[in-house]
Structure 1
Amino acid sequence: MTTARLVRAGSLPVAIHPTTAEMAEAAAQHTAEVLRQAVDQRGSARVIMATGNSQLAFVAALPGQDIPWSKITVFHMDEYIGVGDGHSASFRKWIRERVAEPFGPAAVEYIDGTAEDIEAECARYEALLRAAPIDLTCMGIGENGHLAFNEPGEADFADPRWVRVIRLTQRSIDQQVGEGHFPDRASVPVTAISLTIPALLAAGSVQVVTPEARKAQAVRSTLTLEPTTDWPSTILRRTPHARLFLDAESAAESAEVIRELAAAGDGA
Protein backbone atom coordinates (compact mmCIF):
# COMPACT_ATOMS: atom_id res chain seq x y z
CA MET A 1 0.00 0.00 0.00
CA THR A 2 1.25 3.48 -0.88
CA THR A 3 2.00 5.67 2.10
CA ALA A 4 -0.65 8.29 2.73
CA ARG A 5 0.17 11.96 3.07
CA LEU A 6 -0.60 13.10 6.61
CA VAL A 7 -1.41 16.63 7.74
CA ARG A 8 -3.37 18.24 10.53
CA ALA A 9 -6.08 20.87 10.03
CA GLY A 10 -6.58 22.50 13.39
CA SER A 11 -6.97 19.53 15.73
CA LEU A 12 -8.07 17.17 12.95
CA PRO A 13 -5.64 14.54 11.57
CA VAL A 14 -6.09 14.15 7.81
CA ALA A 15 -4.80 11.26 5.69
CA ILE A 16 -4.75 11.66 1.90
CA HIS A 17 -4.51 8.36 0.01
CA PRO A 18 -3.67 8.01 -3.70
CA THR A 19 -6.68 5.80 -4.48
CA THR A 20 -10.13 5.06 -3.12
CA ALA A 21 -9.14 1.44 -2.53
CA GLU A 22 -6.16 2.44 -0.39
CA MET A 23 -8.26 4.93 1.55
CA ALA A 24 -10.91 2.26 2.16
CA GLU A 25 -8.35 -0.29 3.31
CA ALA A 26 -6.78 2.18 5.74
CA ALA A 27 -10.18 3.11 7.16
CA ALA A 28 -11.12 -0.56 7.53
CA GLN A 29 -7.90 -1.24 9.39
CA HIS A 30 -8.58 1.71 11.69
CA THR A 31 -12.09 0.46 12.39
CA ALA A 32 -10.77 -3.00 13.22
CA GLU A 33 -8.14 -1.60 15.59
CA VAL A 34 -10.62 0.57 17.50
CA LEU A 35 -13.23 -2.17 17.84
CA ARG A 36 -10.74 -4.88 18.83
CA GLN A 37 -9.31 -2.60 21.50
CA ALA A 38 -12.77 -1.89 22.91
CA VAL A 39 -13.63 -5.59 23.01
CA ASP A 40 -10.30 -6.37 24.67
CA GLN A 41 -10.96 -3.74 27.34
CA ARG A 42 -14.69 -4.24 28.02
CA GLY A 43 -15.70 -7.44 26.32
CA SER A 44 -17.94 -5.66 23.83
CA ALA A 45 -18.02 -2.64 21.53
CA ARG A 46 -20.57 -0.18 20.12
CA VAL A 47 -20.24 1.51 16.74
CA ILE A 48 -22.31 4.06 14.82
CA MET A 49 -22.13 3.52 11.06
CA ALA A 50 -23.08 5.84 8.22
CA THR A 51 -24.76 4.63 5.07
CA GLY A 52 -24.64 5.96 1.53
CA ASN A 53 -22.39 5.78 -1.49
CA SER A 54 -19.36 7.35 0.19
CA GLN A 55 -19.13 4.41 2.59
CA LEU A 56 -19.36 1.61 0.02
CA ALA A 57 -15.62 1.12 -0.58
CA PHE A 58 -14.88 1.25 3.15
CA VAL A 59 -17.56 -1.33 4.03
CA ALA A 60 -16.38 -3.54 1.15
CA ALA A 61 -12.91 -3.57 2.74
CA LEU A 62 -14.16 -4.75 6.15
CA PRO A 63 -14.31 -8.51 5.37
CA GLY A 64 -10.53 -8.61 5.19
CA GLN A 65 -10.19 -7.35 8.77
CA ASP A 66 -10.08 -9.24 12.06
CA ILE A 67 -13.16 -7.76 13.74
CA PRO A 68 -14.99 -9.57 16.60
CA TRP A 69 -18.45 -8.85 15.20
CA SER A 70 -20.17 -11.25 17.59
CA LYS A 71 -19.35 -8.82 20.41
CA ILE A 72 -20.29 -5.61 18.60
CA THR A 73 -23.54 -3.62 18.60
CA VAL A 74 -24.18 -1.48 15.52
CA PHE A 75 -26.20 1.73 15.35
CA HIS A 76 -26.93 3.84 12.31
CA MET A 77 -27.17 7.61 12.21
CA ASP A 78 -30.29 8.61 10.31
CA GLU A 79 -33.44 7.43 8.55
CA TYR A 80 -36.06 9.07 6.38
CA ILE A 81 -39.42 9.63 8.01
CA GLY A 82 -42.10 7.60 6.26
CA VAL A 83 -39.72 5.27 4.43
CA GLY A 84 -40.09 1.57 5.24
CA ASP A 85 -37.15 -0.76 5.67
CA GLY A 86 -37.88 -2.44 2.34
CA HIS A 87 -37.50 0.77 0.33
CA SER A 88 -34.38 0.84 -1.84
CA ALA A 89 -33.28 4.14 -0.22
CA SER A 90 -33.88 3.00 3.36
CA PHE A 91 -30.83 3.32 5.57
CA ARG A 92 -32.11 0.37 7.60
CA LYS A 93 -32.02 -1.70 4.44
CA TRP A 94 -28.47 -0.48 3.69
CA ILE A 95 -27.24 -1.52 7.15
CA ARG A 96 -29.08 -4.82 7.05
CA GLU A 97 -27.70 -5.85 3.66
CA ARG A 98 -24.16 -4.47 3.96
CA VAL A 99 -23.41 -4.90 7.68
CA ALA A 100 -25.92 -7.06 9.59
CA GLU A 101 -26.26 -9.95 7.14
CA PRO A 102 -22.63 -10.33 6.02
CA PHE A 103 -20.95 -9.73 9.39
CA GLY A 104 -23.46 -10.99 11.97
CA PRO A 105 -22.91 -8.43 14.75
CA ALA A 106 -24.21 -9.16 18.23
CA ALA A 107 -27.03 -6.66 17.70
CA VAL A 108 -28.14 -3.95 15.30
CA GLU A 109 -30.28 -1.14 16.66
CA TYR A 110 -32.40 0.40 13.90
CA ILE A 111 -34.11 3.79 13.69
CA ASP A 112 -37.74 3.28 12.67
CA GLY A 113 -38.73 6.07 10.32
CA THR A 114 -42.25 4.66 10.10
CA ALA A 115 -42.91 4.70 13.86
CA GLU A 116 -46.37 5.96 14.81
CA ASP A 117 -44.88 8.44 17.30
CA ILE A 118 -41.71 9.92 15.78
CA GLU A 119 -40.75 11.96 18.84
CA ALA A 120 -41.04 8.83 20.99
CA GLU A 121 -38.85 7.00 18.48
CA CYS A 122 -36.23 9.74 18.78
CA ALA A 123 -36.30 9.43 22.57
CA ARG A 124 -36.10 5.63 22.40
CA TYR A 125 -33.06 5.67 20.15
CA GLU A 126 -31.34 8.37 22.18
CA ALA A 127 -31.75 6.27 25.32
CA LEU A 128 -30.13 3.30 23.57
CA LEU A 129 -27.17 5.44 22.49
CA ARG A 130 -26.66 6.91 25.94
CA ALA A 131 -26.92 3.55 27.73
CA ALA A 132 -23.19 2.79 27.34
CA PRO A 133 -20.09 4.31 25.71
CA ILE A 134 -19.92 4.56 21.94
CA ASP A 135 -16.49 3.40 20.82
CA LEU A 136 -16.49 4.50 17.20
CA THR A 137 -18.47 6.64 14.79
CA CYS A 138 -17.92 5.87 11.09
CA MET A 139 -19.30 8.67 8.96
CA GLY A 140 -18.79 10.84 5.90
CA ILE A 141 -19.32 14.46 4.90
CA GLY A 142 -22.28 15.57 2.78
CA GLU A 143 -21.89 17.70 -0.32
CA ASN A 144 -23.21 20.67 1.67
CA GLY A 145 -21.05 19.88 4.71
CA HIS A 146 -23.74 18.07 6.65
CA LEU A 147 -22.82 15.38 9.18
CA ALA A 148 -25.55 12.72 9.28
CA PHE A 149 -28.47 14.98 8.35
CA ASN A 150 -27.40 17.94 10.47
CA GLU A 151 -27.93 20.60 7.83
CA PRO A 152 -26.20 23.98 7.32
CA GLY A 153 -27.82 26.66 9.43
CA GLU A 154 -29.78 24.09 11.42
CA ALA A 155 -26.96 22.08 13.00
CA ASP A 156 -26.25 22.72 16.66
CA PHE A 157 -22.76 21.97 17.95
CA ALA A 158 -24.10 22.01 21.53
CA ASP A 159 -27.45 20.33 20.97
CA PRO A 160 -28.64 18.81 24.27
CA ARG A 161 -30.48 16.12 22.34
CA TRP A 162 -28.76 13.19 20.66
CA VAL A 163 -31.57 12.31 18.23
CA ARG A 164 -34.04 14.65 16.59
CA VAL A 165 -36.20 15.33 13.53
CA ILE A 166 -34.55 17.45 10.84
CA ARG A 167 -35.73 18.95 7.55
CA LEU A 168 -33.56 18.27 4.50
CA THR A 169 -32.18 21.21 2.55
CA GLN A 170 -32.63 21.32 -1.20
CA ARG A 171 -28.97 20.48 -1.72
CA SER A 172 -29.30 17.33 0.38
CA ILE A 173 -32.39 16.37 -1.58
CA ASP A 174 -30.45 16.87 -4.80
CA GLN A 175 -27.60 14.73 -3.46
CA GLN A 176 -29.98 11.85 -2.77
CA VAL A 177 -31.31 12.07 -6.33
CA GLY A 178 -27.80 12.42 -7.77
CA GLU A 179 -26.64 9.30 -5.94
CA GLY A 180 -29.50 7.35 -7.48
CA HIS A 181 -31.52 6.71 -4.34
CA PHE A 182 -34.66 8.44 -5.65
CA PRO A 183 -35.87 9.11 -9.21
CA ASP A 184 -36.56 12.82 -8.69
CA ARG A 185 -36.77 15.58 -6.08
CA ALA A 186 -40.46 15.04 -5.44
CA SER A 187 -39.78 11.45 -4.35
CA VAL A 188 -37.30 12.39 -1.61
CA PRO A 189 -38.77 12.67 1.91
CA VAL A 190 -38.32 16.17 3.28
CA THR A 191 -37.78 15.06 6.89
CA ALA A 192 -35.63 12.49 8.62
CA ILE A 193 -34.61 11.30 12.06
CA SER A 194 -30.93 12.09 12.63
CA LEU A 195 -28.34 11.73 15.34
CA THR A 196 -27.12 15.19 16.34
CA ILE A 197 -23.53 16.36 16.13
CA PRO A 198 -22.91 15.92 19.89
CA ALA A 199 -24.07 12.30 19.55
CA LEU A 200 -21.80 11.61 16.59
CA LEU A 201 -18.77 13.16 18.29
CA ALA A 202 -19.42 11.49 21.65
CA ALA A 203 -17.70 8.34 20.41
CA GLY A 204 -14.22 7.61 21.67
CA SER A 205 -13.00 7.66 18.07
CA VAL A 206 -14.55 9.35 15.03
CA GLN A 207 -13.69 8.11 11.55
CA VAL A 208 -14.67 10.31 8.60
CA VAL A 209 -14.38 8.60 5.21
CA THR A 210 -14.90 11.03 2.34
CA PRO A 211 -13.96 9.90 -1.18
CA GLU A 212 -15.00 11.08 -4.67
CA ALA A 213 -14.62 14.27 -6.71
CA ARG A 214 -18.15 15.41 -5.86
CA LYS A 215 -16.99 15.88 -2.25
CA ALA A 216 -13.91 17.94 -3.15
CA GLN A 217 -15.51 21.32 -2.46
CA ALA A 218 -16.95 20.04 0.82
CA VAL A 219 -13.50 18.83 1.86
CA ARG A 220 -11.88 22.16 1.02
CA SER A 221 -14.49 24.05 3.04
CA THR A 222 -14.03 21.66 5.96
CA LEU A 223 -10.27 22.25 5.97
CA THR A 224 -10.33 26.02 5.51
CA LEU A 225 -13.41 27.57 7.12
CA GLU A 226 -13.58 28.48 10.77
CA PRO A 227 -16.00 26.18 12.61
CA THR A 228 -19.51 27.32 11.79
CA THR A 229 -22.93 25.73 11.72
CA ASP A 230 -23.28 27.18 8.20
CA TRP A 231 -20.87 24.37 7.23
CA PRO A 232 -21.35 21.69 9.92
CA SER A 233 -18.33 19.54 9.04
CA THR A 234 -16.01 22.38 10.10
CA ILE A 235 -16.54 21.26 13.71
CA LEU A 236 -14.20 18.38 12.89
CA ARG A 237 -11.28 20.79 13.00
CA ARG A 238 -11.95 21.05 16.74
CA THR A 239 -12.23 17.29 17.19
CA PRO A 240 -8.82 15.75 17.95
CA HIS A 241 -10.28 12.26 18.38
CA ALA A 242 -11.53 12.35 14.78
CA ARG A 243 -9.59 11.28 11.68
CA LEU A 244 -10.42 12.29 8.11
CA PHE A 245 -9.69 9.79 5.32
CA LEU A 246 -9.51 11.21 1.78
CA ASP A 247 -8.65 9.90 -1.66
CA ALA A 248 -6.95 11.86 -4.44
CA GLU A 249 -10.26 12.95 -5.96
CA SER A 250 -11.83 14.30 -2.78
CA ALA A 251 -8.56 16.11 -1.93
CA ALA A 252 -8.15 17.57 -5.42
CA GLU A 253 -9.44 21.06 -4.60
CA SER A 254 -7.41 21.17 -1.38
CA ALA A 255 -3.93 20.61 -2.83
CA GLU A 256 -2.72 24.11 -1.97
CA VAL A 257 -4.25 23.95 1.50
CA ILE A 258 -2.61 20.59 2.14
CA ARG A 259 0.78 21.92 1.01
CA GLU A 260 0.40 24.89 3.37
CA LEU A 261 -0.52 22.63 6.29
CA ALA A 262 2.46 20.39 5.57
CA ALA A 263 4.83 23.35 5.27
CA ALA A 264 3.56 24.76 8.56
CA GLY A 265 4.57 21.54 10.24
CA ASP A 266 1.01 20.46 11.05
CA GLY A 267 1.83 16.82 10.42
CA ALA A 268 -0.72 14.35 11.74
Structure 2
Amino acid sequence: MDVKGLAAIVTGGGSGMGAAVARALAGAGAKIALIDRNAEAAEAVATEIGGLALAGDVSDEASIREALAAAREAHGVARIAVNCAGIADAGRVVGREGPHPLDLFRRVIDVNLIGSFNVGRLAAAAMAEVEPLPTGERGLIVNTASVAAYEGQIGQAAYSASKGGIVAMTLPMARELARFGIRVMTVAPGLIGTPMLLSMSDEVQESLVATTLFPKRLGQPEEYARLVLHIAENELLNGETIRLDGAVRLAPK
Protein backbone atom coordinates (compact mmCIF):
# COMPACT_ATOMS: atom_id res chain seq x y z
CA MET A 1 0.00 0.00 0.00
CA ASP A 2 1.43 3.32 -1.07
CA VAL A 3 0.13 5.75 1.57
CA LYS A 4 0.65 8.84 -0.57
CA GLY A 5 -2.68 10.59 -1.03
CA LEU A 6 -4.59 8.17 1.20
CA ALA A 7 -6.69 9.24 4.15
CA ALA A 8 -5.65 8.00 7.58
CA ILE A 9 -6.98 8.32 11.11
CA VAL A 10 -4.78 8.09 14.19
CA THR A 11 -6.26 7.84 17.68
CA GLY A 12 -4.23 9.19 20.56
CA GLY A 13 -2.60 11.42 17.97
CA GLY A 14 -1.98 14.32 20.30
CA SER A 15 1.18 12.89 21.88
CA GLY A 16 3.64 10.01 22.09
CA MET A 17 3.42 7.21 19.55
CA GLY A 18 0.20 8.54 18.04
CA ALA A 19 1.79 11.90 17.25
CA ALA A 20 4.85 10.16 15.80
CA VAL A 21 2.65 7.99 13.56
CA ALA A 22 0.73 11.04 12.38
CA ARG A 23 3.98 12.80 11.48
CA ALA A 24 5.39 9.75 9.67
CA LEU A 25 2.26 9.13 7.63
CA ALA A 26 1.92 12.82 6.79
CA GLY A 27 5.58 12.87 5.75
CA ALA A 28 4.82 10.01 3.36
CA GLY A 29 1.99 11.98 1.81
CA ALA A 30 -1.09 10.70 3.67
CA LYS A 31 -3.97 12.93 4.72
CA ILE A 32 -4.20 12.72 8.51
CA ALA A 33 -7.07 13.09 10.95
CA LEU A 34 -6.04 12.92 14.60
CA ILE A 35 -8.55 11.81 17.22
CA ASP A 36 -7.72 12.55 20.85
CA ARG A 37 -9.54 13.36 24.06
CA ASN A 38 -7.09 16.25 24.44
CA ALA A 39 -8.29 18.49 21.65
CA GLU A 40 -5.61 21.10 22.30
CA ALA A 41 -2.76 18.58 21.96
CA ALA A 42 -4.30 17.12 18.80
CA GLU A 43 -4.66 20.59 17.32
CA ALA A 44 -0.98 21.35 17.94
CA VAL A 45 0.13 18.23 16.04
CA ALA A 46 -2.45 18.77 13.30
CA THR A 47 -1.23 22.33 12.76
CA GLU A 48 2.35 21.07 12.50
CA ILE A 49 1.59 18.44 9.84
CA GLY A 50 -1.31 20.05 8.02
CA GLY A 51 -3.81 17.54 9.37
CA LEU A 52 -7.24 17.62 10.97
CA ALA A 53 -7.70 17.54 14.75
CA LEU A 54 -10.84 15.94 16.17
CA ALA A 55 -11.90 15.53 19.78
CA GLY A 56 -13.10 12.02 20.54
CA ASP A 57 -13.34 9.28 23.15
CA VAL A 58 -12.52 5.91 21.60
CA SER A 59 -14.69 4.08 24.12
CA ASP A 60 -17.79 6.07 23.14
CA GLU A 61 -19.59 4.93 19.99
CA ALA A 62 -21.33 8.22 19.23
CA SER A 63 -18.12 10.20 19.74
CA ILE A 64 -16.16 8.07 17.28
CA ARG A 65 -18.96 7.94 14.72
CA GLU A 66 -19.01 11.73 14.75
CA ALA A 67 -15.22 12.00 14.48
CA LEU A 68 -15.02 9.51 11.61
CA ALA A 69 -17.78 11.33 9.77
CA ALA A 70 -15.88 14.62 10.08
CA ALA A 71 -12.66 12.95 8.91
CA ARG A 72 -14.48 11.42 5.93
CA GLU A 73 -16.00 14.77 5.01
CA ALA A 74 -12.55 16.36 5.00
CA HIS A 75 -10.38 13.64 3.45
CA GLY A 76 -12.62 10.85 2.17
CA VAL A 77 -12.83 7.34 3.58
CA ALA A 78 -9.81 6.49 5.72
CA ARG A 79 -7.86 3.60 4.20
CA ILE A 80 -5.58 3.48 7.27
CA ALA A 81 -6.68 3.42 10.91
CA VAL A 82 -4.04 3.36 13.65
CA ASN A 83 -5.13 2.91 17.26
CA CYS A 84 -2.69 4.53 19.68
CA ALA A 85 -5.13 5.83 22.29
CA GLY A 86 -4.78 4.12 25.65
CA ILE A 87 -4.41 4.43 29.40
CA ALA A 88 -2.17 2.56 31.83
CA ASP A 89 -3.86 2.96 35.23
CA ALA A 90 -2.38 0.43 37.64
CA GLY A 91 -3.65 -1.31 40.76
CA ARG A 92 -2.95 -4.46 42.72
CA VAL A 93 -5.57 -7.20 42.72
CA VAL A 94 -5.48 -6.98 46.51
CA GLY A 95 -3.80 -3.85 47.82
CA ARG A 96 -3.58 -1.90 51.03
CA GLU A 97 -6.99 -0.39 50.40
CA GLY A 98 -8.60 -3.74 49.62
CA PRO A 99 -9.50 -5.41 46.31
CA HIS A 100 -8.80 -3.79 42.96
CA PRO A 101 -11.52 -1.21 42.20
CA LEU A 102 -13.78 -2.81 39.62
CA ASP A 103 -14.56 0.55 38.00
CA LEU A 104 -10.86 1.08 37.34
CA PHE A 105 -10.50 -2.35 35.73
CA ARG A 106 -13.56 -1.70 33.60
CA ARG A 107 -12.29 1.72 32.50
CA VAL A 108 -8.95 0.34 31.30
CA ILE A 109 -10.73 -2.38 29.32
CA ASP A 110 -13.17 0.18 27.92
CA VAL A 111 -10.47 2.51 26.60
CA ASN A 112 -7.74 0.10 25.53
CA LEU A 113 -9.62 -2.95 24.29
CA ILE A 114 -13.17 -1.88 23.54
CA GLY A 115 -11.90 1.47 22.25
CA SER A 116 -9.59 -0.25 19.76
CA PHE A 117 -12.37 -2.55 18.59
CA ASN A 118 -14.84 0.33 18.37
CA VAL A 119 -12.58 2.35 16.09
CA GLY A 120 -11.56 -0.71 14.09
CA ARG A 121 -15.09 -1.94 13.41
CA LEU A 122 -16.37 1.48 12.34
CA ALA A 123 -13.32 2.21 10.20
CA ALA A 124 -13.55 -1.24 8.57
CA ALA A 125 -17.23 -0.77 7.72
CA ALA A 126 -16.34 2.36 5.75
CA MET A 127 -13.27 0.76 4.12
CA ALA A 128 -15.38 -2.16 2.91
CA GLU A 129 -17.47 0.22 0.79
CA VAL A 130 -14.65 1.71 -1.30
CA GLU A 131 -12.98 0.41 -4.43
CA PRO A 132 -9.85 -1.66 -3.89
CA LEU A 133 -6.42 -0.19 -4.51
CA PRO A 134 -4.23 -1.61 -7.32
CA THR A 135 -2.81 -4.07 -4.75
CA GLY A 136 -6.30 -5.41 -4.06
CA GLU A 137 -6.34 -3.81 -0.63
CA ARG A 138 -9.13 -1.66 0.67
CA GLY A 139 -7.60 -0.72 3.98
CA LEU A 140 -5.39 -1.37 6.99
CA ILE A 141 -6.02 -1.36 10.72
CA VAL A 142 -3.05 -1.23 13.10
CA ASN A 143 -3.70 -1.70 16.81
CA THR A 144 -1.32 -1.03 19.69
CA ALA A 145 -0.84 -3.69 22.35
CA SER A 146 2.15 -3.94 24.72
CA VAL A 147 4.71 -6.46 25.88
CA ALA A 148 2.60 -6.45 29.04
CA ALA A 149 0.18 -8.60 27.07
CA TYR A 150 2.73 -11.39 27.51
CA GLU A 151 4.55 -10.66 30.77
CA GLY A 152 2.53 -8.14 32.71
CA GLN A 153 3.99 -6.82 35.91
CA ILE A 154 2.48 -6.69 39.37
CA GLY A 155 -0.22 -4.04 39.32
CA GLN A 156 -0.90 -4.47 35.61
CA ALA A 157 -3.78 -6.96 35.71
CA ALA A 158 -6.17 -4.55 34.01
CA TYR A 159 -3.62 -3.17 31.56
CA SER A 160 -2.29 -6.62 30.60
CA ALA A 161 -5.82 -7.97 30.15
CA SER A 162 -6.70 -5.09 27.84
CA LYS A 163 -3.55 -5.46 25.75
CA GLY A 164 -3.81 -9.25 25.71
CA GLY A 165 -7.30 -8.86 24.32
CA ILE A 166 -5.96 -6.71 21.49
CA VAL A 167 -3.41 -9.40 20.61
CA ALA A 168 -6.09 -12.10 20.74
CA MET A 169 -8.51 -10.32 18.43
CA THR A 170 -5.91 -9.55 15.75
CA LEU A 171 -6.12 -12.83 13.85
CA PRO A 172 -9.93 -13.26 14.04
CA MET A 173 -10.39 -9.71 12.74
CA ALA A 174 -7.86 -10.30 9.94
CA ARG A 175 -9.57 -13.54 8.96
CA GLU A 176 -12.98 -11.93 8.82
CA LEU A 177 -11.93 -8.75 7.02
CA ALA A 178 -9.76 -10.53 4.46
CA ARG A 179 -12.76 -10.88 2.12
CA PHE A 180 -12.86 -7.09 1.89
CA GLY A 181 -9.12 -6.74 1.33
CA ILE A 182 -8.61 -5.18 4.77
CA ARG A 183 -5.51 -6.11 6.74
CA VAL A 184 -5.29 -6.09 10.55
CA MET A 185 -1.98 -5.89 12.40
CA THR A 186 -0.91 -5.23 15.98
CA VAL A 187 2.31 -3.80 17.38
CA ALA A 188 3.34 -4.66 20.95
CA PRO A 189 5.82 -1.98 22.02
CA GLY A 190 8.20 -2.41 24.91
CA LEU A 191 9.71 0.49 26.82
CA ILE A 192 9.03 3.49 24.59
CA GLY A 193 10.03 6.99 25.66
CA THR A 194 6.55 8.47 25.71
CA PRO A 195 5.54 11.32 28.05
CA MET A 196 4.03 8.77 30.46
CA LEU A 197 7.25 6.80 30.83
CA LEU A 198 9.54 9.83 30.78
CA SER A 199 7.59 11.29 33.72
CA MET A 200 8.97 8.47 35.90
CA SER A 201 12.09 9.03 38.00
CA ASP A 202 15.55 8.50 36.49
CA GLU A 203 16.02 5.56 38.85
CA VAL A 204 12.88 3.82 37.58
CA GLN A 205 13.81 4.49 33.95
CA GLU A 206 17.31 3.10 34.48
CA SER A 207 15.95 -0.05 36.11
CA LEU A 208 13.63 -0.61 33.16
CA VAL A 209 16.37 -0.05 30.59
CA ALA A 210 18.56 -2.57 32.46
CA THR A 211 16.10 -5.35 31.52
CA THR A 212 16.45 -4.63 27.79
CA LEU A 213 18.92 -6.84 25.93
CA PHE A 214 19.85 -4.61 23.00
CA PRO A 215 19.86 -1.77 22.37
CA LYS A 216 20.05 -0.77 26.04
CA ARG A 217 17.89 2.31 25.88
CA LEU A 218 14.29 3.35 25.72
CA GLY A 219 12.60 2.98 22.39
CA GLN A 220 11.59 6.09 20.51
CA PRO A 221 8.06 6.91 19.33
CA GLU A 222 9.55 7.46 15.88
CA GLU A 223 10.68 3.81 15.79
CA TYR A 224 7.10 2.72 16.39
CA ALA A 225 5.98 5.09 13.64
CA ARG A 226 8.51 3.69 11.16
CA LEU A 227 7.21 0.19 11.84
CA VAL A 228 3.62 1.29 11.20
CA LEU A 229 4.71 2.86 7.92
CA HIS A 230 6.47 -0.36 6.93
CA ILE A 231 3.37 -2.39 7.81
CA ALA A 232 1.36 -0.16 5.51
CA GLU A 233 3.84 -0.61 2.67
CA ASN A 234 4.31 -4.38 3.08
CA GLU A 235 1.02 -5.99 2.08
CA LEU A 236 2.10 -9.48 3.19
CA LEU A 237 1.98 -8.39 6.84
CA ASN A 238 -1.43 -9.41 8.15
CA GLY A 239 -3.04 -11.03 11.18
CA GLU A 240 0.06 -10.86 13.37
CA THR A 241 1.48 -9.05 16.39
CA ILE A 242 5.01 -7.66 16.18
CA ARG A 243 6.97 -7.03 19.37
CA LEU A 244 9.00 -3.81 19.20
CA ASP A 245 11.03 -4.09 22.37
CA GLY A 246 14.78 -4.69 22.09
CA ALA A 247 14.13 -8.24 23.38
CA VAL A 248 13.01 -6.97 26.78
CA ARG A 249 11.17 -9.37 29.07
CA LEU A 250 9.46 -7.56 31.91
CA ALA A 251 10.32 -8.61 35.45
CA PRO A 252 7.47 -9.18 37.93
CA LYS A 253 7.97 -5.65 39.29
TM-score for the superposition, normalised by structure 1: 0.39
- The answer to which structure, 1 or 2, has the higher relative contact order (CA under 8 A, 6+ apart) is 1
More helix per residue: 1 or 2? 2
TM-score for the superposition, normalised by structure 2: 0.41
